[in-house]
A and B are shown apart, each in its own frame.
Chain A
Amino acid sequence: MSLYETDPINVIIAGTGGQGNILISKLLGDAMLEEDHWVTIGETYGASQRGGSVASHVRISGEAPCSPITPRGAAHLVLGLEPVEALRVLALYGGPGTYVVTNVRPVHPMAVAIGEAAYPTLEAIKQTIGELSRKAMYLDASQIGINLGAPLLANMVMMGALVGCGFIPLERERLERQLEALFQTEKLALNLKAFRLGLAEIEKAYGRVHFKSRKGGNR
């Protein structure tokens, strides 16, 4: 049975190697599995794995397993851990109806660091993301992570933003329980804090995009 107006739901988490997008895809996937959905997660890589682009495709269906790569134009939500990667994935798999939630802190590719390529300005990135999406939301997840003492916590901030944007029918409590199962006491407090800050930040700035659920009477 199809649970939502859209089936499957396609979420792509875009980032670079080492940013922790595989952890987000697993947390999201496990949460949807607990809701008795079919979940398929695939990863696509850019030129490499060491420091290269990594995109995790999370496809959620009430009916059947999906292919591990999203067809062009079929992404519903791009969660960017890095702004240029959000744009890259949006341009590859997005469509006019795609939502984007992205961290604004760049990770410069080697070509940029050595002056062989330019990194676009945040304004240029935002403008193109705006043209290629239905709605885009931005936050400085890395800064929130750094304020908490570890830039890597940006992935938990973005996990919070994913729940906070309201696009995916994800319960905050379910995610928090998963984090409790995943992390030990000391790390747990920090990760929970990052998760809650990301969630609050996106809700405060943008409000919730209420995803239409057939359960909710939109039939």
Chain B
Amino acid sequence: MSLRVTGATARRLLRQLRRDPRTVALLLVVPPLLITLLKYVFEGQPATFERVGGPIVGLFPFVTMFLVTSIAMLRERTTGTLERLMSLPLAKLDLLAGYGLAFALVAAVQATITATVAFGLLGVDSLGPLWLVIAIASANAVLGMALGLFLSAFAQTEFQAVQFMPAFIFPQILLAGLFVPREDMAPALEAVSYVLPLTYAYDALARAIADELDARLALDLAVVSGCIVLSLVLGATTLRRRTA
């Protein structure tokens, strides 16, 4: 593991992203626009918007970074750059940490803009500290990135990688307790929700926003961190020095 290589990889990824200003604009503009849309969708039910608006700010980075990473990693595989990197003195961890660093940074910017719009302009209230909401949002981004990195190994084409979003991300959003409290779901689904990482990410956000800075929040964050590490380890096993 080398700080030099990790840093160079993160800078390289950010440069690549900057060469694609349309993607950057979409990453930064779409989440605040969707939050705004949501506010007016729930015009007749302001209490619902109050409840879901805050956590959604912290879930956007999870979804976008999952997509961006799975496509970026798929490109590394299909263009042969991954094979080149694997034949160079680069530790797998350097590559993974470089991805994490670059996309956590982008996520922090994205979360800050979205949070500013939601909490500043749209009247969503956070009782807890805003920095904590943004920090959890960035952690969610790293979780999304780690999952994307791992799952991209199972996609042969960009079409498949994009379809992984409805397949792996939507169910987690539905079961996380955002729309319906988990105890109101069919018991089997509630049981499933306990093993999905987004459940804990959502719970952490909801608690941070409600200013419930308690042991449950600490547990949520520990589970999210554990899932990040697990996904990265699984992701590392898909980076092969030798291929058939």
Q: Do A and B bind each other?
A: no
Binding site for A on B (CB under 8 A): none
